[in-house]
Structure 1
Amino acid sequence: MLVGYMRVSKADGSQSTDLQRDALLSAGVKTDHLYEDQASGKKDDRPHLAACLKALRKGDTLLVWKLDRLGRNLRHLVNTVHDLTDRGVGLKVLTGEGAAIDTTTAPGKLVFGIFAALAEFERALISERTIAGLAAARARGRNGGRPFKMTPAKVRLAMAAMGQKETKVGELCTELGVTRQTLYRHVSPSGELRPDGEKVISKRKMYS
C-alpha cells in the first residue's frame, strides 16, 4: 500500500498542499491514504505525521513530495527511515534534492546510506569539537561553582550525546556544568532539540 504525507509550515491559509497532493495522487496514493500537517518542520508536535507512521505496515511505502516535508533535520530523518526500514516499510521521495531516495530499490538504499553516513559524520564532528571546547574552558579555570547556562556548543554536544544509548545523563550534566532540568529543557532524551535549545542556537546565529 502507498501512503502519502504532506506538510506546510503555516496554518493560516497562506500556504497550500495542493502541489504536494497532486504529486502524491499522480504517484498512485489514494485520497484516503493521505496525511497532512500544518506546522513548522522544526516542531515535535506533528500529530498527523505520528498517525501516518503508526498506520504504516510491513510492505507499505511512504511517499513524500520533498525530503524536507518529513524530517526536522538530517538526524531526525535518518532515525525515522531506519525505524521504517526495521518495520519493513519503504520511503520514496518524489522530487527535490532527495528524489533519488527510494528505499524499496537497491540504488535508493545506497543513496540513503550516504545520507546516513553524513549524519553520523556530522554528529561525531560536532561532538569532537564541543568536547575539545569544554576541555579548553576547564583548562582556563572555568570549572565548578554555579552551573553555566547552556551555550550553542553545549546544546550540540548534548544532542550528539543524548542520542547514544551508552550516555549517562548524570555524567553528561557534570561535563556540561548544568542540571538535569536545564539539560532536558534544551534537549530531549533522544537528542532532539526542544524549544529552549532552538532559542539558544538561533540567538547565536543572529549575532554571528
Structure 2
Amino acid sequence: MLTRRKFAALGAMAALSACAAPQPVTRAAATAVPEPIPPLPDFYGPIYDEPYPVPAVEEGVLRPELWRQEVDNPWPGYKRGTIVVDPDAALLHFVQSPDTAMRYGVSVGAQGYSWNGTARLQFSRKWPRWKVPASMIARQPELEPYSVANGGMDPGPGNPMGARALYLFQDGVDTLYRIHGDADPRELGQAVSSGCIRMLNQDAIDLYDRSIHGATVIVLPSRAPDPTVTA
C-alpha cells in the first residue's frame, strides 16, 4: 500500500489561480533561508476516493501554524457553524462549540481586490465548475472561454476552484466570492487572489464536510495598508 510519503504528485498545479494571478515574490522572500519544517500530518496525504486525484501536499513547504488543527475558540459568542476569516493572519476558523474551533491556513484576496463583510453560506459544491465573472474577464480577456455565458470550466485537475467550493451570498445576492480549494501550499499565508479564500484541497474537503447550510461567514477587514493607494 502506498504511503503519503511515497505518493508521487499527480501532474503540475494549474496555471490559472482561482481569482487572479499570484503576486510576485519579493527579493527578500526569495532569498530568506526558511526554518526546517516538520513532517506533515497524515491527513495531508493523497486522497483516493474522490472523482479526481488529490495528491499529497508537498513536504517541507507548509508551516505548522497553517496546518489544520483544533484550537481554543476565539469567538465563543458565535453559533456553531460560523466561519470567521482573518485575512491578515491568513486563518479561517470554523466554530465547533463555545470552547473549540477548527483552524485552517488560507490565502486571501490581494489588496485592491479584497472583500470583507458578513455573508451567508448559501450553498456548497463538490468539484465545482469555474464560472468567471465579467469583472474578471474585463481584466483578463483570455478567460472569456470560461465565462458564465460559455458555461465555465469543467471540474477536475486544472480547474482553479479545486475539490470543493462554498458560495457566499449577502442579502440574497451572490457576492461572487468563494471559499474553495486548489491552493498551492506555497501561497498559504499570502494575498494572492481577487478576494476569494483559497484552501488546500484536503482542508476544503474537511471544511465542506463540517459546514452548515445557511451559516454565517464573517470576513474581517484587513488592517494592512493598501499598496495601491498613494499618499
- Same fold per superposition (TM over 0.5): no
Query: TM-score normalized by structure 1?
Result: 0.24
Determine which structure has the larger strand proportion and give its number: 2
| Higher relative contact order, chain-length normalized (CA < 8 Å, sep 6+) | 2
Rg comparison, structure with higher value = 1
Give the structure with the higher percent helix. 1
- Normalised by the length of structure 2, the TM-score is 0.23
